[in-house]
Structure 1
């Protein structure tokens, strides 16, 4: 059960088997059915989850009542409200919902701190994960502001090649910041090329 997460986390730092055993002992396996909201806006996020299997979306509801998708998390990705709820100790401003039946390995802030005390190299690994997440977020912001819809969609396909077969088109449109109708036109134009 732990080989997938161990391989993923070991991309950044080399761990001993003893360090990986400590890490694995602090993880909790969770199976969550499709269409489950794991976190509601206004709640405190008390988990970080590694996706073993499935697809999750993280989103907020804007002032006009529209859902705006911030992230898709699929196999080998992490999801949680790290930036606001966990690190700032404030209620979440986002929702996290499973779009497929999912399997996760999770931990909470207390077990993460225990991990850092017992196996300090994990602090470096998670710092690198956060830096990578920040880079991806900044790149996404740049693309959203500066690129036309077709380029945004092609970038999306590069980042999430399997997601279009797994989620409804209106979710992808929300992620890209365009209407579902406009996304249909973009897809048709790409198909002709």
Structure 2
């Protein structure tokens, strides 16, 4: 159950884990299983956990007054899912996070995160994750305001090919900030390029 997490830690930290570190990490996480469309977090609730996805796919989104979903994050195996603001600040979330597929996660409370954050390898891993997340968010924001739809789709396919295979067109369109009709035209152009 923990193999994926420990492999992830090794990929994001050059520091070793002691036997005591491994024991503390295992005690700090809990296994959570979600059925497709089951919520990890609902808008208005406080995010109690960050989750490391072992198996499955999830999406984080808001819903506007007209009932339209606006997807800000898609996540698959070896990704983390959380509303950081709600989790860290203990404020009600504006987002929903749900399982798009049956999903197994290792979940971590803020209290347990603070305990394992004393482990040097975990500190380094989270620092690396935060840097990567910031860079990816900055690129995504720049692409959304400066690239035409076709180029945004090409970037998605290049960087996250699994998303296109595992999430439906309406989710991909929402993630890219375009309509389903525009995505259909873009995909047609992409295929015939």
Please tell me the TM-score bracket, short chain as reference. over 0.9
> Equivalents in 2 of 1:55, 1:124: separation in Å?
26
SS in 2 for 1:41: coil
SS in 1 for 2:184: helix
Decide whether the 8 Å contact of 2:9 with 2:121 is kept in 1: no
**CA apart distance, 1:94:** 0.6
For this pair of structures, how many residues does the alignment match?
191
**CA apart distance, 1:168:** 1.3
Q: Which residue of the partner structure matches residue 190 of structure 1?
A: 190
Match of 1:55 among 47, 54, 57: 57
**CA apart distance, 1:120:** 4.1
**CA apart distance, 1:163:** 1.9
Moved more, 154-163 or 16-25: 16-25
Residue 155 (structure 1) aligned with residue 183 (structure 2): no
Unmatched 5+ residue regions in structure 2?
Answer: none
SS in 1 for 2:43: coil
Q: Which residue of the partner structure matches residue 131 of structure 1?
A: 131
> Equivalents in 1 of 2:188, 2:170: separation in Å?
15
**Offset from partner CA, 1:82-132 (integer Å, 9 cap, x none):** 1x1012221111100100000111110011111124x24422321221221
> Equivalents in 2 of 1:124, 1:61: separation in Å?
35
RMSD: 1.4
Q: Which residue of the partner structure matches residue 26 of structure 1?
A: 28
**CA apart distance, 1:164:** 1.8
Q: Which residue of the partner structure matches residue 73 of structure 2?
A: 71
Unmatched 5+ residue regions in structure 1?
Answer: none
TM-score, normalised via structure 2 length: 0.93
> Equivalents in 1 of 2:187, 2:135: separation in Å?
27
**CA apart distance, 1:157:** 1.1
